[in-house]
Every structure is written in C-alpha cells, then in structure tokens.
Amino acid sequence: MSTAEAPFGLLAELTHRCPLQCGYCSNPVELVRRDAELTTEQWRVVFDQARSLGVLQIHLSGGEPLLRPDLPELVTHANSLGCYVNLVTSGVGLSRDRLRDLAERGADHVQLSLQDATKAGNDRIAGIKAFDRKVEAATFIRDEGLPLTVNTVLHRQNLDNVAGIIAMAEEMGAERLELANTQYYGWALRNRAVLLPTREQLAAADPVVAAAQERLRGRMEIVYVIADYHEAHPKPCMYGWGARQLTVAPNGDVLPCPAATVITSLEIENVRYSSLHDIWYHSASFNAFRGFEWMRGPCRSCPRKEIDFGGCRCQAFQLTGDAAATDPVCSLSPDRSTVDLILATEMTPVDVPEMAMRKMR
C-alpha cells in the first residue's frame, strides 16, 4: 500500500463548458462535452468519498460551474459534509440572488477570474464582453460578506498591466490576489507563441509585484507564481505528485494534477469504476511519481529534490516525451536547450499567430 498521506483538497471540475474563450486555459483542447459529465448523484458520491478520504476543502471549478443547474445542490451537499466550499468562477452569470442562495447553502469563499485591468483588455483576452459583469460580481461578493480571491493568469498580453491588475483587485475588495504566470498545458500550450512573456516584461513586473506585496501586507495577500521557462529551477509543482490534492474531471477521470491527461502514457482511472480511496492509494497513476525512487540523474542526487520534487511531470512529458525526465526548465536538465530554443524562437515578434480562442468543438 502507498505511504501517501491523505489529501486535503479536491478540485471538482464540474464542467468544461464556459462562457469565456480564454486562450491560456489549461483545460484539455479536447473538452468534455455536456452529455459525458458526471450526474448530480455521481458528484454527491464523489464528495462523500473525498470526505471519507480526508478531504477538507472542495473547490467547485470548471469551465464555469455556474453553468451546472445543480450547483446549489452540490454546494449544499459539500457543506453538509463539513467541507470548506470554494466557488471558482468567471463571474458571468453570478447574480446577487444566485450568490446569496449559494452563500446560504454553504459556499464559504469565491475565487473570481480577471483577465486584465481594463475593460478593453479583459474582454479581448476573454473573447466576450465580461469585464462589467466581473466588477458587478465582485460587488455582490463583497456585499454578501464572502472572502474574495481574484485570480489573474499573466502572459505577454497583460503582463505590462500588472500594476493596474493589482489596483483593480484592491478596488474589488479582494483579500487575496493570485498572479499566476501561464503554465503551458492544454489551450495555453497551443497558444504559447502568443503568451510567452519576454525577459524585459518580467524584469519590469517583478519589482512592481514586490512593492505591492509590501504595501498591502496585512490587507491583501499577493501570491506570485513565477514564469518558470525563464527560471534556473522549476517550481515545486503541486508540492509533489499526488501529495496534497486530487482533481476529478467533468467525466469522472481522477487526476494527480489538473493537467495530468497530457501524459498519454499514464493510465487514468475513473471514479465511475473505482473508489477515490483505491485510486489515491493504489492506482498506478497516483503512485507513478510519488517520493524519489522514480527519479533519475541529475534529480536523484540533487539536494533540491525535496524542494521542487523534480519539477513538473506534465511539462517534462510535453517537452521530452518522457514523464520521468528532469523538468527541462531546470538548468541542470540535459534537455534545457529545448526550453532555450523555445524562448529564442517563440518570443520573436515576427509572424506571431492569432490566439486560438478556447471553444467546444
């Protein structure tokens, strides 16, 4: 049996349907269609099993969870299990009455996406006119007294506006702001040539974020996720494979991380056919990269292995074809030249393609 500790978080991707068309989305390019989604009762069973497994936080995400008509029932059930319930939303479709109902049923927190600091920039990146509805949703959340996190994915199209994004999050009344440089999976990988920031952009943004973190300390927490293609070492992805959290996709696939479907050699199990307990502790997919025994050189002898856990397995697979390879972002990786070549070619502002907007096929 695996020696893994129990997870404390479940990311429940209720649907891949979404009114936004963001080209940086980490959902798979082949999105799960509505007729393949888990039913209300199946999601209840998932929540029951997650709580029995030890999960304390349930993050209701997507796509856009507000497109599930059974969202109020699912919030009620998650709350009845004693879980902290977080709604991850675009804000589109979040009326005052809907929010009040969800809060009364047990929603504890709202995470609201923001694509840019201005109406024009936000709506261009989102692919629809959404900015005004996000501002309105933030007002409803604040009036309802729920904690608010604003999340902005940073990339070449908005990184120059990071000061404005911080100011917008302040105006919205956010207790927490997540500034996450794009991770290149799914739609984001497809649009990498349009999204990769330049070193100059990052050099300008870093001190702006640092100054805001200091100025807003105690009022608004700012979490800054680095652009790891530009770094010498990878980030501690998920704090280790299958270590703290699990994801259930709209069709019931159970994933060690939200992007794990990109590893085509990984045998993914589904909650329709196996329990979360068995998948978490016994499945080949969750045990594939736990601990350190799977590592090869240079990771296995590197003192950083207990800091970054060898980096991202999904990124390693996408860039090398081998999920057990050292994350090519690492300066010690024999494949670092792959990342350097990407930076040299895809950041050249010549013949930059149009962004492929996220849409159901």
In the chain, where the domains are located: 9-230
Query: Is 312 marked within a binding site?
Result: no
Query: Identity (one letter) of the amino acid at 176?
Result: R
CA 205 – CA 159 distance, rounded (Å): 7
CA 278 – CA 261 distance, rounded (Å): 19
Query: Is 18 marked within a binding site?
Result: yes
pLDDT at 351: 57
pLDDT at 70: 98
pLDDT at 259: 94
Query: Is 257 marked within a binding site?
Result: no
CA 339 – CA 233 distance, rounded (Å): 12
CA 178 – CA 244 distance, rounded (Å): 19
Nearest to 67, CA basis, from 81, 88, 49: 88
318 contacts 185 by C-beta, under 8 angstroms: yes
pLDDT at 79: 98
pLDDT at 339: 96
CA 102 – CA 6 distance, rounded (Å): 28
pLDDT averaged over consecutive 10-residue blocks of the chain (361 residues)?
Answer: 85 97 93 97 98 98 97 98 98 98 98 98 97 98 98 97 98 98 93 93 97 98 93 88 96 96 96 98 96 93 92 95 96 96 76 80 68
pLDDT at 345: 86
pLDDT at 19: 96
CA 139 – CA 120 distance, rounded (Å): 20
pLDDT at 299: 94
90 contacts 19 by C-beta, under 8 angstroms: yes
What is the phi/psi pair of residue 178, to 5°?
A: -105, 115
* Omega within 30 of 0 (cis) for the link into 63: yes
What is the Rg, in whole angstroms, of the alpha carbon atoms belonging to the chain? 20
In the 8-state DSSP scheme, what is residue 183?
P
pLDDT at 238: 83
pLDDT at 205: 97
Tokens of 274: 């196996």
Query: Identity (one letter) of the amino acid at 150?
Result: V
Query: Identity (one letter) of the amino acid at 184?
Result: Y
Q: Is 302 left (phi over 0), alpha (psi -120 to 50) or beta?
A: beta
Q: What is the CATH number of domain 9-230?
A: 3.20.20.70
283 contacts 4 by C-beta, under 8 angstroms: no
221-225 β-sheet, strand order: 221-225, 176-181, 148-154, 109-113, 84-89, 57-61, 9-13, 245-248, 253-255, 269-270
CA 62 – CA 27 distance, rounded (Å): 8
- Stated pTM of the model: 0.95
